[in-house]
Structure 1
Amino acid sequence: MKKIVVGLAVVLGFCMCTHKPSGTLDVNKALDYCAKQTQRTLTELETDSGIDYTMMPRNIMADEQHWNCRKATKEEWCAGFWPGVLWYDYEYTKDKQVLEEAENFTHSLKFLSHIPAYDHDLGFLVFCSYGNGYRLTKNPAYKQVILDTADTLATLFNPIVGTILSWPREVEPRNWPHNTIMDNMINLEMLFWAAKNGGNPYLYDIAVSHADKTMKSQFRPDYTSYHVAVYDTITGNLIKGVTHQGYADSTMWARGQAWAIYGYTVVYRETKDPKYLDFAQKVTDVYLDRLPEDKVPYWDFDDPSIPNAPRDASAGAVVASALLELSTYLPNGTGKRYKDAAIEMLTSLSSDSYQSGESKPSFLLHSVGHWPNHSEIDASIIYADYYYIEALLRLKRLQEGYGVLG
């Protein structure tokens, strides 16, 4: 019965969300909404014995009203997003209670800086939490955690292949000798940061090598991306490009393309090499050209059930945030086009069609986690909220005449 309800929600809910974004986006109103929802979540996490700071909000299914939380372990790749949401909310509200909770939840991830790498997700886990924490507080203890974790992430780098191994656990069961997923592009930011903030300068070289090999091997001629690149560990050559979370090996999985847009924007920021700026635009343009009218993507651009396929608000939020930054590196015409596209995306995401409103304490509805695994379909997911509030803060800074980065 539950599957039927979710299926109907997908068919009915997403068919209603196809209109072009309308109205003017009020950034402060949207951020006030995020602040209200953040307080709702904090209240929900309270128990008679207080808050368990090792339990992180992860998702709310379509037919649910409350967060499903998961223990902050090395396996829980999303554990850094809720602390990151709190840091962003504190940045906007300057609420000292939110600051205290951000510190408490962030501290629960310190263990990641002194254990062996489980997989590539250390950037998501630590830079979204400790990275934002250090940016806002300059706490030297936070800096050390980031530097130590960057060194740990670097242990997954294979110099023969030239990329970071994403999933050690998938090497044998899938016969993927060295696998690199597009999500890994986001973790490079922590390596770049560490290299210029007292860490090993070699971390910069690892990040550049990873970006270059991914650019060469993990994209099709039309600049759509493979979710997973499988490499030979002896020659370093590409064996094949496949998917793990997309519809098929040959399709454009929305969130994978979103990671590429965001990732290469960061690589350009950190290197100022124009080839990355050019590439960021190419992977962006193929995404923008295929968006539906309301600018929020279907979970996979090639799902044959479109227009009855689920949307992925998380991919929309990631791209909106990335395009606001990318727009600042380009001449007025191109830059304005990307900025305007980001505002259209945020306008849709801030509408009743996508905001959770009173129904749930999350920010957004309608994200897809892992369709092939039948997991988190048409759900509120914490990383959608993280990139949504990040994008809103970036737009607010631009509107106030500041740089896009805090």
Structure 2
Amino acid sequence: MNKISVLFVLMLMSKSMFSQEQNKDQFDYQKVLDYCIDKSLHTVSSFNDNDKFPRYIETDATHWESDKVENWISGFWPGILWYSFEASNNLALKQSAALYTQKQQVVMDKPIRSHDLGFMLYCSYGNGYRLTKNSAYKTLLLSAADSLATLYNPTVGTILSWPSKRKNNNWPHHTIIDNMMNLELLFWAAKNGGAKNLYNIAVKHAETTMKHHIRTDNTTYHVVFYNDKNGDFIKGKTHQGYTDDSLWARGQAWGIYGFTMCYRETGKVEFMETAIKLADAYIKNLPNDLIPYWDFNDPSIPNTPRDASAAAVVASALLELSSLNTDALISEKYKGIAIKMLQSLSSDMYLSKDKNNAFLLHSTGNKPKNREVDVSIIYADYYYIEALLLLKKISLKG
């Protein structure tokens, strides 16, 4: 064999080895989506808690503990079913999604003063309407948006959180970072026949949150208190984080996701810039496997619980952030990090597999109150399958 032939063979071998290495590092999102679909079908057949909804699974248990339809988590299970149907076109999943979505209608049958109507109804009815165009879903969503808007204080510029606490605990107007997620319902309604002012409420809420919830190091308060008479900032506190000034992982995740969504809906560059600042502050504090501790400032680290739910929320947000950003380098940066997060969540450490009926393990709900600590949680599964579907759509486009 002459030198040119040898060189040609070596080049082919090198190319083959490089290709194999690339394939080894690629993330098989379809395989994990299929896993989620199978898990959803299994829960459909095994969950029989009347009109309640799956919420969490204790560490050593296999089946879901449930909660009532009025709880803020009720939309995630029907939302998972809609996503599972979207990923599979399985009509049994579509039927179950419609059934659990219909069960939520009672939420709007009585006066509602919940800041979480977006979580509760947009995750379920919103996905249902997107996939079926059922006019009844649209009607209920528009009504839900109007109900959510009644909690808006124009003097403060935000939607009130936890109305009962204001009455029972003498709290002034207060807003949690989680409320950024509920703005999507208002944006949707303003585009689909609802009052145009719903758009303005959502924008002002995001602007006020951007001004007062974000600290100088680009981390977020969980709760901000305002003077409800003149709108002045009073103080920032926590409810689920380690301390008032600590970096509660899921709170930061809500902020990253919420401001990314607000940029998508408005095109306002300041929302994109805020999402990036929050994302970078979150990312730089992550451990090697990219799954956060429940609070980055817990002094017990590394001997403290992780929060896979925060990781799933951020993975979904970063994928959308990457698809919205026109700077190719920034786009690839966040897409790459999101894929690595999903790879970690899809590892033996975090997939539940045959341990229980959930998709994921190791989420933390409310550590300070010792509620749902190091368990499987329904909203972790919701944002996980959402991120997988989003990655599939981005990959097929590219």
Which of the five TM-score ranges fits, normalised by the shorter chain?
A: over 0.9
Q: In structure 2, how many angstroms separate the alpha carbons of the residues matched to 1:250 and 1:172?
A: 26
1:391 to 384, 387, 392: 387
- In the alignment, the residues of structure 1 paired with residue 256 and residue 395 of structure 2 have an alpha-carbon distance, to the nearest angstrom, of 22
Deviations 1:92-132 (A, max 9, x none): 11011110000000001112234322320100000000000
The residue aligned with 1:66 is 63
- The counterpart of 2:289, out of the listed 273, 278, 294, is 294
Counterpart-to-counterpart distance in 1, 2:45 and 2:280: 41
Asked whether the 8 Å contact 1:117–1:156 carries over to 2, the reply is no
Q: CA deviation at 1:89?
A: 0.1
2:52–2:69 contact (8 Å) kept in structure 1:
yes
Pair member with larger Rg = 2
Query: Partner letter of residue 143 of structure 1?
Result: K
User: Is contact 2:213–2:236 with CA below 8 Å preserved after alignment?
Assistant: yes
Following superposition, the deviation at residue 63 of structure 1 comes to: 1.8
Paired residue for 2:275, among 255, 275, 280? 280
Question: Matched residue of 2:350: which SS?
Answer: coil
Q: Which residue of 1 aligns with 2:119?
A: 124
Paired with 1:115 and 1:268, the residues of 2 have a C-alpha distance of 33
Deviation at 1:308, TM superposition (A): 1.0
- Alignment RMSD (CA, Å): 1.1
Conserved 8 A contact 1:112-1:149: no
Matched letter for residue 396 of structure 2: E
SS of the equivalent of 1:69 reads strand
Q: TM-score, normalised by structure 2?
A: 0.92
Higher mean displacement: 60-69 or 132-141: 60-69
User: Structure 1 residue aligned with 2:54, among 45, 54, 57?
Assistant: 57
1:87 and 2:82 are equivalent in the alignment: yes
3-state SS of paired residue (1:179): strand
Residue matched to 1:240: 235
1:306 to 298, 301, 305: 301
SS across alignment from 1:395:
helix
| Aligned residue in 1 for 2:9 | none
User: Which 4+ residue blocks in structure 1 deviate beyond 6 angstroms?
Assistant: none
In structure 2, distance between residues paired with 1:115 and 1:226: 32
Match of 2:186 in 1: 191
Cα deviation 1:21-66 (Å, max 9, x = unaligned): x9432101000100111111112114xxxx73x2111000112111
Q: Give the superposition deviation at 1:169.
A: 1.3
1:229 equivalent to 2:224? Answer: yes
Q: Does 1:342 align with 2:338?
A: yes
Asked whether 1:368 is paired with 2:364, we answer yes
CA deviations on 1:335-379 (whole Å, 9 max, x unpaired) are: 100000000000000011000000101000000000011100000
Report SS of the residue matched to 2:354. Answer: helix
Contact 2:319 2:387 in 1 (8 A): yes
Say which structure, 1 or 2, has more relative contact order (CA 8 Å, 6+ apart).
Answer: 1
Partner of 1:325 in structure 2?
A: 320
Distance in 1, Cα, partners of 2:83 & 2:173: 35
Cα distance in 1 for residues equivalent to 2:108 and 2:261: 23
Q: Return the alpha-carbon distance in structure 2 between the equivalents of residues 77 and 302 of structure 1.
A: 27
Q: Return 5+ residue gaps in structure 1 as ranges.
A: 1-21
Does residue 254 in structure 1 map to residue 256 in structure 2?
Answer: no
Equivalent pairs counted in the alignment come to 374
Once the two structures are superposed, what CA deviation does each residue of 1:133-162 show, in whole Å capped at 9, x if it has no partner? 000000011000100000000000001110
Percent of counterpart pairs with the same letter?
53
**Aligned counterpart, 1:103:** 98
Which amino acid in the other structure matches residue 60 of structure 1?
Answer: I
> Does the residue aligned with 2:67 lie in a helix, a strand or coil?
strand
Query: Which digits, 9 at most, give the CA deviation of each residue in 1:308-356, with x for residues without a partner?
Result: 1110000000000000000012211011000000000000000110000
